[in-house]
Amino acid sequence: MVSPEDIYVFLEEVKDPEIPVLSIIDLGIVRNVEQLDSTWKITITPTYSGCPAMQVIEEEIKIRLSKEGISCLVVNELSPAWTTDWISAKGRENLRNYGIAPPEHEVDKSVLFSAPTVVPCPKCKSRSTKMVSLFGSTACKAHYQCLICLEPFDYFKCLK
């Protein structure tokens, strides 16, 4: 007999294809797992509307569960909208070790020309860094550079 807890253990092995150190559980995009008659309904939520990783993640969920002989239906639900607050503490630590700075508490985005968020360098931990661009290699990241060790790095930007 498969329990919801088992399903979560299997899903822990499904990673974000763009950030392979981050499981979809740590990313906080699995909303619910529920047993229907002969299948499981997995409800997920997108990080960004156009994130191309979502389709891959849906496929990976189906592949992982089919290895256990479990069939599933993956449903996307938009509300409540995903926020970076849902990334787990373990996920944040994994991001940092991977060289991506995890989300920091950010100032109000509605203020124009507000000072960029201070983001510590994931390599040397210095707080002396600069934002290079609000936008980065994927929709969820901004581009920063460390002024001490000069490492350019991705910052997983805060979304609230």
Partner 1 sequence: MEKFNYLLRLGDDSLILGQRLAEWCGHGPILEEDIAMTNISLDLIGQAISVLNYAGDVECKGRDGDALAFLRLEKDYKNLLLVEQKNGDFGDTMMRQFLFDAYRKLLFERLQSSTDKQLAAIAEKSLKETRYHFKHSAEWVIRLGDGTDESHKRVQNSLNNLWRYTDELFYVDASDKVLTKQGILPDLSDLKSLWLQEVNTVLDLATLQIPTNNWQFEGGRKGVHSEHMGYLLSELQFMQRVYPNMEW
Segment holding 26, helix H or strand E: helix 24-27
Instruction: Out of 135, 147, 150, 152, point to the residue binding partner 1 (CB under 8 A).
Output: 135
Instruction: Out of 46, 62, 86, 116, point to the residue binding partner 1 (CB under 8 A).
Output: 46
Residue number, 10 or 155, with CB nearest to partner 1: 155
Asked if 74 contacts 54 with a C-beta cutoff of 8 angstroms, the reply is no
Using the rule CB under 8 A, is 159 a contact of partner 1? yes
Instruction: Out of 63, 97, 137, 147, point to the residue binding partner 1 (CB under 8 A).
Output: 137
Distance CA 159, CA 33 (A): 24
Asked if 59 contacts 52 with a C-beta cutoff of 8 angstroms, the reply is no
The contact pattern for partner 1, residues 78-97, with x = CB under 8 A and - = no contact, is xxxxx---------------
Using the rule CB under 8 A, is 49 a contact of partner 1? yes
Report how far apart the first and last C-alpha atoms of the chain are (Å, whole number). Answer: 38
By CB under 8 A, the residues from 107 to 126 that bind partner 1 are 109-110, 112-113
Collect all residues with Cβ–Cβ distance below 8 Å to 31 and sequence separation of at least 6: 43, 44, 45, 77
Size of the site for partner 1 (CB under 8 A): 26
Collect all residues with Cβ–Cβ distance below 8 Å to 89 and sequence separation of at least 6: none
Distance CA 2, CA 16 (A): 24
Residue number, 69 or 80, with CB nearest to partner 1: 80
Instruction: Out of 1, 38, 105, 133, point to the residue binding partner 1 (CB under 8 A).
Output: 133
Residues of this chain that bind partner 1 (CB under 8 A): 46, 48-52, 77-82, 109-110, 112-113, 132-137, 139, 143, 159-160
